[in-house]
Amino acid sequence: MTADKKPSNWQQSIDGEWHGRPSLFEADGTHVGYNKVTRASEHIDGRTNYWMDTKFDATGPLNDRFELGSNFDFGVIDSDQDRIYTGPDFIGSGRPFGLLVDSNYFSPGWNVNLRTMNHVVPDLGMQVYSSQLFEGDTLIGVFNGLYVVTHDMATNPDTQTKVDKFLEQETLDGKRPYNLPVKHAGVLRGEFEVYNAEQELIGHNQVTIHHKPINLLHSEQTIEIEGVINRRWTTMRTRNGNHHQYHGPHMFGNGMSYGRYLYSIRHVYGEAFKLWSRETQIDENHTYVCAWQFQESHKEKYMTFGVLRWEQGDLILGANYID
């Protein structure tokens, strides 16, 4: 290993210590606790080392499963093509797409396969994290939450206070349910970066979602995309608890939400084209950080991601009266 090997672009983008308190959910979406985490990926003398200090505060069998009584310290082969995790704690790899990495790896101690997505969002000053936890193809739980970065945590009392307040807020927000605007029509609008299957940035999409409630559990949405992808789809959405469905006419599929995070798969009618998505509701103003992966013929076509912001329109479901 040569000491002059430079860190990848992704490695440089995550410099510093990251602090979060991601929530732990059972497979059905039940919130069962938190995991206080401090972590860093450090590139020193040509080697990359990833460490994590964790402390679980949860109930039920998942707490015993994930609280190993030991911190994590594992090697990484760093590159902008593949980040390969060499153990002992995690074995597998991640694919960087600019400020997002999509990883799939195995934890021997937890006996789970993880699909982990980390998305650094400079405009919001945070990293949006989630891990879906599997045994084979069976989902057994989900971690998700937001992180903030520091470079002087050990020495700066102001930074320590800032992180403590952030973690307190994450404790309140971690189990809040994902919701769309329930009673108002409006528009969600934002710009997404677009990467091809070779992880190359090939442009941007302007994304506009026209949203109209039908009743408290149904809404109609039209997604318009302009840029690298130029498409338009309309679908009726329904929600029953944390179960979501898409009823066409242009997209059909379903999803489940785990706190503020909604994971969905939508199939485009009449085409070998589908959308896998992770959408995170950041605040009560209906700001969503989205990762949308498009697949064609079951193969990755585009990875796109960005922030959607809500522009409120007319009140559709106001009070009813009988005169």
Instruction: Based on the fold, state whether residues 156 and 230 are members of the same structural domain.
Output: no
Instruction: Based on the fold, state whether residues 28 and 125 are members of the same structural domain.
Output: yes
CA torsion 133→138→141→147, rounded to 10°?
30
**Does residue 1 have a pLDDT over 60?**
no
Instruction: Based on the fold, state whether residues 105 and 189 are members of the same structural domain.
Output: no
Instruction: Based on the fold, state whether residues 17 and 161 are members of the same structural domain.
Output: yes
Instruction: Based on the fold, state whether residues 131 and 23 are members of the same structural domain.
Output: yes
Instruction: Based on the fold, state whether residues 71 and 115 are members of the same structural domain.
Output: yes
Domain stops at, among 173, 206, 226: 173
Instruction: Based on the fold, state whether residues 169 and 30 are members of the same structural domain.
Output: yes
> 183 by DSSP, 3-state: which?
coil
Quick check: 190 and 317 in contact, CB under 8 A?
no
pLDDT tens sequence across 266-276: 999 999 999 99
Instruction: Based on the fold, state whether residues 44 and 133 are members of the same structural domain.
Output: yes
Closest-CA residue to 130 (of 265, 307, 86, 141): 141
Q: Which domain holds residue 307?
A: 184-315
CATH of the domain at 109: 2.40.128.20
Count how many domains the chain has: 2
Q: Which pLDDT belongs to residue 70?
A: 87
Quick check: 280 and 142 in contact, CB under 8 A?
no
In a domain, 323, yes or no: no
Instruction: Based on the fold, state whether residues 188 and 168 are members of the same structural domain.
Output: no
Calpha distance 155→44 (Å, rounded): 21
In a domain, 2, yes or no: no
pLDDT tens sequence across 286-311: 999 999 999 999 999 999 999 999 99
Q: Which pLDDT belongs to residue 46?
A: 86
pLDDT tens sequence across 144-189: 999 999 999 999 999 999 999 999 999 999 999 999 999 999 999 9
Instruction: Based on the fold, state whether residues 259 and 160 are members of the same structural domain.
Output: no
Instruction: Based on the fold, state whether residues 160 and 210 are members of the same structural domain.
Output: no
